[in-house]
Amino acid sequence: MAKKFLTVSTTLSADVAASGTFTVGYPTGTDEDSFAGYGHKANAIGNDMVSPTDFTLTFGSASITFTYGSGKTTMPAGTLVRIGLNLPANLRTEMTKKVVDHPGVSVLTLVRVDLGSPLIADVNGIAEAQNKNIGENLVLQARAGVAGFGLAGGAPFGRALTVDSGGADTAVLVITGTDYKGNTIVENITVNGNTVVPGVKAFFTVTQITVTVANLANSAFVGFGDVLGLPFYLPGIDDCPTVFEFEDNILKANVGTFVAGVDTAPTATTGDVRGTYLPLTSVPDGAQNFVLFIPSTDPEYQGAAQFAG
C-alpha cells in the first residue's frame, strides 16, 4: 500500500506556547519539494492535531518550521512531538517517485469536474426582503434547504451567497448550512446598505440566518450568485496552471476566476476550504453546462475542516 505520510519526531528543548515555533529536520531522502502544503498531522501532550487548523508547517531548504496554533495549550520542554508529513497523491508510490525524481518534472492527476447546469443567480433566492431584530432568524425560502438550491439546476458542489438591503443596514448575518459533503459550515457576512455583498464560502444548503450586531430595518435579503464550489482542495492556480473549461461541450479559449482553498485555520470570514470558481465567458442560467479539467497533485484532499461556529 502506498504511504500517505512520512513521520518525523522531535523532543522539545524549551516550552512552546500558542503561536510559538520550533524546527525539525527532513526525513532521509526528502526535501522541501517532497510534501504537500496541507493535510499534515501531529501528536503531542495527548492531543491529535491537523494542519492548518491546529498548526502550520513551513518547508525551508534545510529544515521544517512548526508553528503552533493560537489559543493552544503550552507544550512543555521535554514533550515528544510526532509529525506526520503529508505526501501528495502524486508522490505516494515508488513508481511515481522514480518518474518525478528530476528537477522540473512532476506528475499530476487530470480530474474532470462537471459543475452541472446551475440555476441563474437569484438575489433573494435564499431569503426574501424582511426586517428582523438582533438575535432573530430570517425566514428562509423553501429552496434554501434543497441541495445546491434546486432539485433541477442545483450546483453539485454548492455556490456562494450574496446579501443586500433596501437601505442603510449594517447588520452581520451569521449564515449556517452545509457543504456538499454534509459538513456544517458557518459564514458571517456584513450587510453594506444597498450594495450587494458577495460571500466567499460555497453552501450546498442554508439552514439558518441569524441577525447580529444591528437590527435589519430596511428590508434585507439573501440570495446566491455565480461563484461555484469545487469538489476538492485547490492549492492555487500556480499549482495546477493548465485548466480547461468547457461550456456545453465547447472548449473555451480562456478560463474563469479560481480562488484557492484557505490554507490557514478557517473562521467565519475566511474563504472556502476547497476553493471556488467563477465562469468567465458565460454565467449560470439553468441550461448551460460547465465542465472543468483540473490537473491536481492530490484530488483526494478535501481541505481543512469547515468552520462550524
Domain ranges of the chain: 5-94, 122-226
- Our measurement of the distance from residue 166's CA atom to the centroid of its chain's CA atoms, rounded to an integer in Å, reads 31
Q: What is the pLDDT of residue 3?
A: 54
What is the pLDDT, as a whole number, of residue 295?
84
Cα–Cα distance, 151 to 140 (Å, whole number): 17
pLDDT on residue 250: 76
Terminal-residue alpha carbon distance, the chain: 37
Q: What is the pLDDT of residue 1?
A: 40
DSSP secondary structure string for all residues of 159-190 = EEEEEE-SS---PEEEEEEE-TTS-EEEEEEE
C-alpha triplet 13, 19, 24: angle, nearest 5°: 40
Cα gap 293→267, rounded to integer Å: 29
Tens place of pLDDT per residue across the chain (309 aa) = 445 788 899 999 999 999 999 999 998 888 888 888 788 999 999 899 999 889 999 999 999 999 999 999 999 999 999 999 988 765 555 444 555 555 566 667 788 999 999 999 999 999 999 999 999 999 999 888 777 676 556 799 999 999 999 999 999 999 999 999 999 999 999 999 999 999 999 999 999 999 999 999 999 999 999 999 999 998 865 555 557 777 777 777 778 888 999 988 899 999 999 999 999 877 899 888 899 888 887 888 888 899 998
Please tell me the distance from the alpha carbon of residue 245 to that of residue 278, in angstroms, as a whole number: 11
β partners of residue 245: 292
Cα 309 versus chain centre, distance: 15
Give me the pLDDT at residue 95, please.
Answer: 43
- Separation in Å, CA 118 to CA 98, 121, 183, 198: 42, 9, 21, 17
- Return d(Cα 142, Cα 73) in angstroms, integer: 44
pTM of the model: 0.75
| Distance between CA atoms of residues 60 and 52, nearest Å | 17
Q: What are the residues whose beta carbons fall under 8 Å from the beta carbon of 82, sequence distance 6 or more?
A: 7, 8, 9, 42, 43, 44
Q: How many CA atoms lie within 13 A of 175 on its CB side?
A: 32
In whole angstroms, give the CA distance from residue 194 to residue 121: 17
3-state secondary structure of 111: strand
